[in-house]
Structure 1
Amino acid sequence: MLKYSAILFDVDGTLIDSAPGILHTLEEVFHTMGVDTTNVNLRRYLGPPLRKSFGEHFSDKAKIEEAAERYRASYHEKGSHECAVFPGVPEMLRRLKEAGLVLCTATSKPTRVVTPILEEQGLAEYFDFIGGASMDESRDTKTAVVRYVLAQPMMQGKRVLMVGDRNDDMRGAADCGLDAAGALYGYGSREELEPFHPVILAKDCADLADQILHMAE
């Protein structure tokens, strides 16, 4: 018997290389709101919730909300199309699905934002449930998103693994009592992920699928 019966996937940096669209949109929003990003490493905002990232530059809650709204409007129009599926993702998802695993997403992108992206990239069909953040602050952390997905009917009684590429993914898994797998091909690093003791560190999608499918109870 496989050790896990359900897998939760982060999206940005785990399934989809969405860096170009995210970075272009962040640059646009910061510029229009008067923030000089010359010495800011915007890549560290790949993955974490929007409000968390904007909170580093705006102390006023209304400004943070304005930045988030500007970002989402622009990202919907342009940035969401500036992405590509990581090599091997469809094959990985197909293998896991054929093995009988329940597949869900657990992403900091709002559900209504990530769903059309997954559809456009041909990945939506592999998922039993597309779980994401809410548009407001009610479900705005990775931990809250993971809890939301775990509460879904198809997840009851399942042995669950969380797959992601950033420390937010590892922390969300730990907060919910789940094992985690780290995608080293994403936006994080071994140094960022190892302190959370992931049960898997995968160099690519084929490696990730191999390790999941060879872990038995």
Structure 2
Amino acid sequence: MRYRAAFFDLDGTIADSAPGILGSMQYALGRFGLHPTKEQLRKYLGPPLQLMFADFLPPEQVAEGVRIYREYYGGGGLFDAEIYEGIPEALRRLKEAGVAVCLATAKPRDTALRVLDHFELTRWFALVGGTDEAAGVMDKTAVIRKNMRDGGFAPEDCLMVGDRRDDLLGARAAGVDGLGVLYGYGSREELESHPHIALADSPLAVMEFVLHAED
């Protein structure tokens, strides 16, 4: 088996989190008198929150926007999501096959843990990686690198699975292979235009790739 570890993104890869995320974005921006539609905000699903707020607010207000968003989202919006069909089976079968299933999300780690716990997925994960401002882990590349350090994985043993260009670019910067998923928030055009080893159209297709990829 080629990969010892599979790093999964959360939003758009494990869970369709759009309702809670978009609603929380609208709430936070509304506090500044801004009222974009959910369709206008969909392109920000996946990348770090700071990038979205930077497009709408002056630099000195970005941190406050992120704080308001996280307070509102943490109050319940994070559970306004659905797990993609096939994810529980894919995670279970990967773990049973000896693959270290790890999370690699741009969400704060504590928030990501709450989501996994709520949807009863935590048991399948060997590591839960997320951003941690206090530790200087601020983006997808840093999360992937921390997962590798914490798990003792070499870059060639790891695969990053995600639905947006940030996942693929983060994987490339960390020296690991990237697999794009077509059922999330990124388009085929977006994923095909960034470094990837393969594309998969379902969670079970991801599982099959991981289990049968050859050296």
TM-score interval, smaller chain: over 0.9
Q: CA deviation at 1:134?
A: 1.4
Q: More deviation in 152-161 or 185-194?
A: 152-161
- Residue 101 of structure 2: which of 97, 100, 103 is its match? 103
Contact 1:81 1:117 in 2 (8 A): yes
Question: In structure 1, how many angstroms separate the alpha carbons of the residues matched to 2:18 and 2:155?
Answer: 35
Residue 164 to residue 38, structure 1, CA distance change in 2 (3 Å): closer
CA distance in 1, matches of 2:90, 2:188: 21
Q: Can you give the 5+ residue segments of structure 2 that lack an aligned partner in the other structure?
A: none
Distance in 1 of aligned mates of 2:134 and 2:18: 23
1:183 equivalent to 2:181? Answer yes
CA pair 170-98 structure 1, distance change in 2 beyond 3 A = same
Change (3 A) 1:69 1:39: closer
Structure 1 stretch displaced more, 136-145 or 105-114: 136-145
Contact 2:158 2:176 in 1 (8 A): yes
How much does 1:158 deviate? 6.5
Match of residue 70 from structure 1: 68
Provide closer, same or farther for how the CA distance between residues 170 and 216 of structure 1 changes in structure 2, counting only shifts above 3 A.
same
Quick one: structure 1 residues 137 and 39, their matched pair in 2 at CA, closer, same or farther if it must change by over 3 Å? farther
Aligned-partner SS, 2:160? strand
1:41 aligns with 2:40: yes
Task: Give the alignment's TM-score, normalised by structure 1.
Answer: 0.94
**Number of the residue aligned with 1:31:** 30
Paired letter, 2:120: G
Give the superposition deviation at 1:38.
4.6
In structure 2, distance between residues paired with 1:43 and 1:197 = 22
Aligned to 2:158: 160
8 Å Cα contact 1:181-1:201 kept in structure 2: yes
CA distance in 1, matches of 2:134, 2:42: 24
Query: Gaps (5+ residues) in structure 1?
Result: none
**Quick one: percent identity of the two aligned structures?**
39
- Correspondence for 2:143 among 118, 138, 145: 145
For the residue of structure 2 that corresponds to 1:198, the secondary structure is coil
* Residue 136 of structure 1: how far off its partner (Å): 5.4
CA distance in 1, matches of 2:117, 2:134: 23
Show CA shifts across 1:82-107 (max 9, x none): 01110000000011111101111110
Worse overlay, 142-151 or 103-112: 142-151
Q: TM-score, normalised by structure 2?
A: 0.94
Mark the CA change 1:56 to 1:211 in structure 2 (over 3 Å): closer, same or farther. Answer: same
Deviating more after overlay: 133-142 vs 96-105: 133-142
- What amino acid sits opposite 1:20 in the alignment? P
SS where residue 2 of structure 2 aligns?
Answer: coil
Does the Cα contact within 8 Å between 2:148 and 2:155 map onto a contact in 1?
no
> How far apart, CA to CA, are the structure 2 residues paired with 1:90 and 1:178?
24
**Moved runs in structure 1, 4+ residues, more than 3 A?**
none
